[in-house]
Structure 1
Amino acid sequence: MKKTLSIVAVVVILVIGYLGWSTYPKLDLISGFAAKSVASGHFIDQRPLSVIAAQDNDIKLVDWATNTINEAGKLATASVNGLKERKAIYREGIGATLINDDFDETQPYLVPKRLKSKIGLYPYGNVKPPDTVFSNVNYKSLNAAVANAFDVSNEKIKRSRAVVVIYKDRIIAEKYAPGFNERSKILGWSMTKSITGALFGVLAQQGKYDIYKPAPIEEWQKDDRKKITTNDLLHMNSGLEWLEEYTSICDATKMLFQAEDMGSVQLGKPVAFQPNTHWNYSSGTTNLLSKILRGQFKTHQEYLDFWYTNLIDKIGMRSMIIETDMTGNYVGSSYGWATARDWGKFGLLYLHQGNWNGEQILSPEWVKYTRTPTATSNGRYGAQFWLNAGGYFPDVPRDMYYCSGFQGQMVAIIPSRDMVIVHMGLKGNENGFDFNGFLKEVLAAVK
């Protein structure tokens, strides 16, 4: 009996030891995700801590974290049973930033200058116009399709937060989960990549940047990386080494929750493949693109302003805020917040071939470039946009292209149907939300 108990005790100790060995390195990322999520959700969208814990941070392992908010200091902290405490600071104008112990919280910082909102009807203003009744829209079917995207009662199956359907520039359907409305700012995650990509289109339209030249990165000029162009980076086709796998500690998670200068993480990676031969999705690449954008301006203030005055505010996305890393550069891969309606405006810019109320912000050639498949992506990816060219969504038109973000964020642009469909939520296509079915039902209601 004693021998059996001893064996059991050894097994238990080994199991506990293994769990501790395998889990402890993740604690820094767990508390980092939690602290950043709490700071952003609370100070950007005024969500209570209880809501953030029950919804935004209701993710395996992340839900281990204990979180606190310091209202006066505009800080959020998180730890796992007192271990690996992390801190995120909110600063008006540039959002929440996950910081380390070396960060000086009292240092002055620059904020982007914003354009004033224009008074007018959506989408060129923020006032929703009177309902336009289209004879070819089955509103009963449309509203049913939109309602079907949301959970009933307290279920956590679909977990949608917002849906906005825009047809011929008019919002024809709109619905929000309890606690959310048309003023709620929601994190787009990787939809932010499409914003970053569009800024190169703005520079190209202004005649200030050639994406086909080698990327302007001094550190690459003495090795094979000197062949990599901005075009390769925009298409996730650079051949640089990168691992993006959110179920484990990887390049992407270490960048988002540990790096001070996120744009430098991909910059320092070696070549794994020749450019334009191997498609590899990389958030590090988009943050490198943000860093390249910084290099196009003499001052940091000009860089900060450019994102808003030349694109975001110009199309009336006044709710949007792009958060920065510890160096002050925008986290162009992941940290863009805006209302569902404003995310819809971004989709409309592309639907209208880069023209916004008479002003050509992006050229039609850039829009075409954006939605042209990367040769090595099997029709899934263009230039910082996802595509349906290969029929990934079988019941949706092949001309659909879209911004896509973690946990089911989508801005779908469907030129053949003159539609933009926005979905914001907490579940993606890979873990429970049926985007093909959702889009199919919405489209079926508009003949």
Structure 2
Amino acid sequence: MRNILLAFSTLFIISCNSDNNDTPPIAEETETMYFPDNNTDIWETKSSAELGWNESAKSELVTFLETKNSKSFMILVNGRIVMEEYFDGHTATTPWYWASAGKTLTTALTGIAEQEGYLDIDSKVSDYLGIGWTNAPVEKENLITSKHLLTMTSGLDDALGDNVSPANLQYVADAGTRWAYHNVYVKLQDIVAEATAQSWNDYFNNKLKSPTGMTGAWIPTGDLNVYWSTTRSMARFGLLALNNGKWKEQQIINSNYFNNAITPSQSINKSYGYLWWINGEQSYHLPQTQFEFQGSIIPSGSADMYMALGKNDQKIYVIPSKKMVIIRMGNTADDENFAVSDFDEELWVKINFVIN
């Protein structure tokens, strides 16, 4: 009888406390997001053992990365370094090229210029660069907006090589009706420079590089500017992307714009945003083809992942559900490629053995 009374009393107390608005519910403790200091390369770490990862699978992942011509590999969780590996004489202070993974830097600067009122991505490119920046008929050229450059839907011929001089930018289809991976996106850098009345380098350094503590530089390569930096600087940008354009307490890139950048930007290639690749969609296109492939780009990768992918397997993978950023720099894992390759799927199979 005494035990029954004690149980009843306990239930009564719990019932009263649950109705008491002055007693907040106990919240599950979560680890705060970490950002490295802007003026140093010191970075907090977290062990994979603390996260419950498969320690025995790590060595297999590292061996795989080494055999696939990698220079560096890094995993951040909540901003903290969990894995950091270097290969083939590469070190934490050695710069390497981002290739087309750096397109997402152009996305970021374009968004910053728009939020500062310098440009409108829905305005036609000729408003900033003047008529004749392509070889298309004027009425077709005037259909092309900055958003078309961001989404790879300019309608210009992608089969004519990397040259982006006016003579080589020829009309194939009306803007917005055809998706094709094309270096014409680089004209966004000219638009930003023209609109802000600043050089691309100065605007980049002031608005993105300095606020995040990145190092590195744009190196002219043919008709393109290619960004070179250390692995940790690439990881800083990945961390900014994980946090929807926010670095510490500063919203560097407008969150609405950034959300648009990492979601399907048009209906032709559902796996492409604003120069970001998107995983987990129903179909995708690849560079240099008009064929539509069914399924997700990286079936073994997280469905919510978005990616900056560059020639010869330069990678930034951002996975919000895991609060994770993964970086891979190096030479091509297998055959030379433009951005997406079979290596992505192979790598993610190995990563999953470690983190799951």
Aligned partner of 1:290 among 172, 184, 189:
189
Higher relative contact order (CA 8 A, sep 6+): 2
Cα distance in structure 2, aligned partners of 1:429 and 1:384: 24
Structure 1 residue 322: Cα displacement:
0.6
Identify the residue that residue 137 of structure 1 maps to in structure 2: 52
Aligned partner of 2:314 among 409, 420, 434:
409
Identify the residue that residue 139 of structure 2 maps to in structure 1: 223
In the alignment, structure 1 residue 419 sits paired with structure 2 residue 324: yes
1:250-269 aligned within 5 A: 250-252=160-162, 255=163, 264-265=164-165, 269=169
In structure 2, what residue type is equivalent to 1:271?
A: Y
Identify the residue that residue 208 of structure 1 maps to in structure 2: 118
Identify the residue that residue 90 of structure 2 maps to in structure 1: 180
Identify the residue that residue 9 of structure 1 maps to in structure 2: none
Report the CA distance shift for 1:226/1:268 in structure 2 as closer, same or farther (over 3 A).
Answer: farther
Q: How many pairs does the alignment contain?
A: 298
In the alignment, structure 1 residue 311 sits paired with structure 2 residue 208: yes
In structure 2, what residue type is equivalent to 1:324?
A: P
Post-superposition CA distance 1:102-137 (Å, at most 9, x none): xxxxxxxxxxxxxxxxxx973644102254566333
Report the CA distance shift for 1:137/1:445 in structure 2 as closer, same or farther (over 3 A).
Answer: farther
Larger radius of gyration: 2
Identify the residue that residue 246 of structure 2 maps to in structure 1: 355
Identify the residue that residue 8 of structure 2 maps to in structure 1: none
Root-mean-square deviation over aligned CA pairs:
2.6
Post-superposition CA distance 1:43-68 (Å, at most 9, x none): xxxxxxxxxxxxxxxxxxxxxxxxxx
In structure 2, what residue type is equivalent to 1:195?
A: L
Structure 1 residue 143: Cα displacement:
2.5
SS at match of 1:239: coil
- What is the TM-score of this pair, normalised by structure 2? 0.76
Using the aligned pairs only, state the percent identity. Answer: 23
Contact 2:113 2:196 in 1 (8 A): no
SS at match of 2:90: coil
Contact 2:45 2:82 in 1 (8 A): no
Contact 1:237 1:278 in 2 (8 A): yes
Aligned partner of 1:191 among 90, 96, 101:
101
Cα distance in structure 2, aligned partners of 1:362 and 1:267: 34
In structure 1, what residue type is equivalent to 2:351?
A: V
Task: Mark the runs of 5 or more structure 1 residues left unpaired by the alignment.
Answer: 1-119, 152-156, 244-249, 256-263
Aligned partner of 1:442 among 341, 348, 351:
351
SS at match of 1:367: helix
Cα distance in structure 2, aligned partners of 1:146 and 1:204: 41
Contact 1:373 1:389 in 2 (8 A): no
SS at match of 2:175: coil
In structure 1, what residue type is equivalent to 2:228?
A: W
Structure 1 residue 398: Cα displacement:
1.8
Contact 1:132 1:170 in 2 (8 A): no
SS at match of 1:314: helix
In structure 1, what residue type is equivalent to 2:50?
A: S
Contact 1:385 1:401 in 2 (8 A): yes
Identify the residue that residue 42 of structure 2 maps to in structure 1: 127
Report the CA distance shift for 1:413/1:167 in structure 2 as closer, same or farther (over 3 A).
Answer: same
Contact 1:322 1:331 in 2 (8 A): no
Aligned partner of 1:233 among 149, 154, 157:
149
Cα distance in structure 1, aligned partners of 2:228 and 2:182: 20
SS at match of 2:75: strand
1:32-51 aligned within 5 A: none
Contact 1:205 1:361 in 2 (8 A): no
Cα distance in structure 2, aligned partners of 1:149 and 1:359: 38
In structure 2, what residue type is equivalent to 1:172?
A: V
- What is the TM-score of this pair, normalised by structure 1? 0.61
